[in-house]
Structure 1
Amino acid sequence: MDLSQKAWELENAVKLVDPHRDALYSYDKDEHAAIVKEKPWTKDPHFYKNIRISAVALLKMVMHARSGGSIEVMGLMQGKVLGDTFIVTDAFRLPVEGTETRVNASESANEYIVQYLQSCRDNGREDNVVGWYHSHPGYGCWLSGIDVDTEIIQQTFGDPFVAVVIDPDRTISAGKVDIGAFRTYSKDHQPTTTTEGDGYQTIPLAKIEDFGAHANRYYSLEVSHFKSTLDTHLLESLWNKYWVSTLSHSPLFTNRDYSSKQMMDLSGKIRQAEVAVRAGSRAGPQRAATGGRSSAVDKAVRDSNKIAREELTGLLASEVKGKLFNGVGIGAPHDTSTS
């Protein structure tokens, strides 16, 4: 178990902070009040550039996202801000009803938030809520139109605030947490870049329109992770449950619905690419040189390569587990004594 936990921390670049001071966990109420009063984010739309998430908070969010299956789930993150960086020290789930396409906090969820935070303060924890997280099962880390509106409301009334998205399906397939963090722009801000320029994402056909329609309304933050000495016992307790669940399931079986949807989505993209190629051929060599059809083909190739890598990862994981654990206990001496 220790080796698998260390591998998980290494894969997700979980770094140890100062083991003596654990400075990221110290909270100064006056310092936070000064930041809120100064409002540096109003002068620079890109003021916040980074987010550091503790290993405990990361694992709790991943476990929550996985528990939702194909349904979106939602929770809040606690911590503080330090310069241009959000520091997330803990996270807690919200009792909200989600669907496969959206998740919204209800009045009961708002009451739960108030009660939870009051309970934290009663027990000496004064960390503020610094953001919210939710899952995108199988369709990547970005903000939909509803997500953007939710984040705008939170930034308007509760800044500093950040939105985090986790894809539990891609996390299982890749073996590394698929996560993104975002901030929205004010309505009068005209950005010069969009999140599409941050790197290619495999987006299902059903989500492509929503993905592109709101990409210029938000920007992404750099995500990193840390572990302090305060995390050690909590992380070990959480890891027991996470490790057993991970070990006892194969990504190929756990994610079979996601894999099937990926294949169906890829077939649709290939058909689109085929139509584009035929249209380009009929238009002649000059139209073909514009690259429109090659772009569709390139995206289909990238998606197919991604699916192949994930399937290979699942096969290798199953092979390793088989080598390690098949036959365990066979040939062990039996107690032949009689009572």
Structure 2
Amino acid sequence: MPRPMLMSIWSIILRLTNRQGDWRMLSGWYHSHPGYGCWLSGIDVSTQMLNQTFQEPFLAVVVDPTRTVSAGKVEIGAFRTYPEGYKPPDEPISEYQTIPLNKIEDFGVHCKQYYSLDITYFKSSLDSHLLDLLWNKYWVNTLSSSPLLGNGDYVAGQISDLAEKLEQAENQLAHSRFGLLLAPSQRKKEEESQLAKITRDSAKITVEQVHGLMSQVIKDILFNSVRQSTKSCAETSDPEPMIES
């Protein structure tokens, strides 16, 4: 979205807020990255920079609903951008996350323009009440659902992305053997770093699938064993037929 249009939208939001006499000002915005992690793209960075220009404090929140379902924990991130022209120290990323191959370029170009914030979240009494209502209505669907079946397309996409990364790494390693621009130690370090990332991505996929299988096994033991024991008790409680001599 062009910068003038964003400025117009922001001014409209401020006017509407002041007109309604609401003392609560906007303190951030959020959006989702379904299946490709919590980080800021180039468009996100531009939007957040503009927001920080007009109001402070202001933060950007990113949620990944697909990975949340697959991993069984909330995938969420909060970020702020550095001032324009600021160069952060060259430090490694504190927490590794899997980035799909088609998003790596966008991630790498802008990853030094923002920083992540520590997140703590809580559940209010109203949240607890709403969750109880949802659980009472959807508990059967929750217990009968499986992340392995519900996220089949996502898992297939992960495996396909991993295969593309392996193919790309193989091609780069083959070309680097004939290159003379890099020192042997530096070349080996880059090769190990690239393969290490692929290994971590593969391990992440495996762990999530194992967790999904474990949950299915637990459900099977919990519910099917009760049904079988009930059936066996019913069979033993039936009166035996009398045999006349």
User: TM-score per shorter chain, which class?
Assistant: 0.7 to 0.9
How far the C-alpha of 1:126 sits from its partner, in A, is: 4.9
Name the CA shift for 1:184/1:268 in 2 (closer, same or farther; >3 Å).
Answer: same
Root mean square deviation, CA, Å: 3.6
- How many pairs align? 224
Equivalent in 192, 196, 206 of residue 308 of structure 1: 206
Are positions 1:268 and 2:164 aligned together? yes
Distance in 1, matches of 2:175 and 2:78, equals: 39
Instruction: Single out whichever of 292-301 and 324-333 deviates more from structure 2.
Output: 324-333
State percent identity of aligned pairs: 48
Partner of 2:107: 211
Match of 1:252 among 148, 170, 184: 148
1:149-175 CA distance string (max 9 Å, x none): 111122222322111111111111111
Paired residue for 1:201?
Answer: 97
Instruction: Quote how far apart the aligned CAs of 1:288 are.
Output: 5.9
Contact 1:173 1:313 (C-alpha < 8 Å) held by counterparts: no
**SS, match of residue 236 in structure 1:** helix
Q: Pick from 123, 128, 137 the counterpart of residue 232 of structure 1.
A: 128
Gaps of 5+ in 1: 1-103, 334-339
Higher relative strand content: 1
User: Higher helix share goes to which structure?
Assistant: 2
Larger relative contact order, structure 1 or 2 (CA cutoff 8 Å, min sep 6): 1
Work out whether residues 280 and 293 of structure 1, in 8 Å CA contact, stay in contact via their aligned partners in 2: no
User: What aligned pairs does 1:1-339 form with structure 2 within 5 A after superposition?
Assistant: 126-193=23-90, 197-229=93-125, 231-240=127-136, 245-283=141-179, 287=184, 290=187, 291-326=189-224, 331=230
Question: Counterpart of 2:52 in 1: which secondary structure?
Answer: helix
1:36 maps to which residue?
none
- Distance in 2 between residues matched to 1:204 and 1:271, nearest whole Å: 14
**Greater C-alpha radius of gyration:** 2
Structure 1 residues 119-159: Cα deviation after superposition (integer angstroms, max 9, x where no partner): xx79xx85432211111111110000011111112222232
Work out the CA distance in 2 between the residues paired with 1:239 and 1:210: 39
Q: So what's the TM-score if we normalise by structure 1?
A: 0.57
Secondary structure at 1:129's aligned position in 2?
coil
Gapped runs of 5+ residues in structure 2? 235-245
Deviation at 1:237, TM superposition (A): 2.9
